[in-house]
Amino acid sequence: MRSADELIHSIMKCSQIVSAKRRQEIERELSAHVEDFVSAAQQAGHENDEIERLLLARFGDPRQVAEGFSWVYRYERRKLLIFAYVISTVLLGSCLLVTILAIQTGLAFSFGTPILKTLVGRHTVIQALDILAFVAVYLGLSVLETHFENHRFQKAALLLTGVVAILTTFCSVTGLHVAFLLYGLITGIFIRAVRLFVMAEAARAGIVLIAFGVAGFIFAVLFSPPSPVNFIASCTSWLALGAAYLLACELAPRIDAALRTELQRI
């Protein structure tokens, strides 16, 4: 019966059950239940039109039925969301780190800096932590925004700021390095805000690159021996970093969506 198929389709569409296997099992159970009901109604002598009305009355509002399934399987959705977030953060962070190190290696070669000095050492570890923190904050914002109805970015940013503040306090007490958390929070919120509130792609790129170029100049003034080469190298390196972040932000939603799609097929 067409109405029965439509009823089951409406329920499953709104059920928010993430596992494909689970969805198939529930759909089979609903179909069997509907078939039993229709068969019993036909044996009782009801016409098709009347059976359809009885069927809809028996099941009730499909949205309420779907909300029931959504509530039952809410923990599975949360597990999938967390798992996809962690995997996306690691994948995107790793790709971003490799890209940036490749760019910095080319810059080091151009400016005559030893390549091993660029790739090996404390600087690379700190940079990896900075990148991972940035990706975690950026993806965290995009995920948290979906849970709010209005002022999504502002609420997500405030919530993440609170989380980072707690982690920073904990790390400070235990003597752990915390600068990467603050760096990730600032850069993640900044670039997310630019992508949300600046419509033109060229303007987005310009704002981010200018900001990173200025940061590179300040970094060179504060931490590098004063020389034109150091200023150029620092600014160029930070500009490359900003460009890589922009590229990562373009890839982030695609990676996250593809990963969730694959996980939902399990």
- The total of other beta-carbon atoms located within 10 Å of residue 180's CB is 19
- 198 pLDDT exceeds 70? yes
Whether residue 39 is found in the same domain as residue 169 = no
Single out the residue in 55, 72, 89 at which a domain terminates. 72
The SS3 assignment for 17 reads coil
Single out the residue in 17, 38, 72 at which a domain terminates. 72
At how many degrees (to 10) do helices 122-145 and 179-197 cross? 40
Q: How confident is the model at residue 108 (pLDDT cuts 50, 70, 90)?
A: low
Whether residue 81 is found in the same domain as residue 65 = no
- 254 pLDDT exceeds 70? yes
Determine the pLDDT at residue 179: 82
Whether residue 132 is found in the same domain as residue 247 = yes
Whether residue 146 is found in the same domain as residue 204 = yes
Determine the pLDDT at residue 116: 57
Phi and psi of 177, rounded to 5°? -70, 130
Most confident of 29-33, 59-63, 135-139: 135-139
Whether residue 122 is found in the same domain as residue 213 = yes
Rounded alpha-carbon distances, angstroms, from residue 109 to 210, 217, 227, 241: 24, 20, 18, 17
Determine the structural domain holding residue 68 and report its residue range.
2-72
- 3 pLDDT exceeds 60? yes
Q: 4-13, 79-88, 123-132, 208-217: which has the minimum mean pLDDT?
A: 4-13
Which long-range contacts link 12-15 to residues 24+ away (Cβ below 8 Å)?
Answer: 12/66, 13/66, 14/62, 14/63, 14/66, 14/67, 14/70, 15/66, 15/69, 15/70, 15/73
Determine the pLDDT at residue 185: 93
Domain total for the chain?
2
Task: Tell me the average pLDDT across 129-143.
Answer: 89
Task: Tell me the average pLDDT across 21-47.
Answer: 80
Whether residue 64 is found in the same domain as residue 87 = no
Distance of CA 261 to the CA centre of its chain: 13
User: Could you tell me the two tokens for 225?
Assistant: 């021996």
At how many degrees (to 10) do helices 74-110 and 122-145 cross? 140
Determine the pLDDT at residue 109: 63
Phi and psi of 11, rounded to 5°? -65, -50
How far is it, in rounded angstroms, from Cα 231 to Cα 235?
Answer: 6
- 163 pLDDT exceeds 80? yes
Q: What is the DSSP string of 204-225?
A: HHHHHHHHHHHHHHHHHHHHS-
Inter-residue contact 11 to 27 (CB < 8 Å): no
Higher-confidence position of 90 and 38? 90
Whether residue 189 is found in the same domain as residue 162 = yes
Higher-confidence position of 82 and 137? 137
Q: How confident is the model at residue 120 (pLDDT cuts 50, 70, 90)?
A: low
Determine the pLDDT at residue 248: 83
Q: How confident is the model at residue 265 (pLDDT cuts 50, 70, 90)?
A: low
Task: Tell me the average pLDDT across 255-260.
Answer: 71
Single out the residue in 46, 72, 98 at which a domain terminates. 72
Most confident of 57-66, 95-104, 132-141, 237-246: 132-141
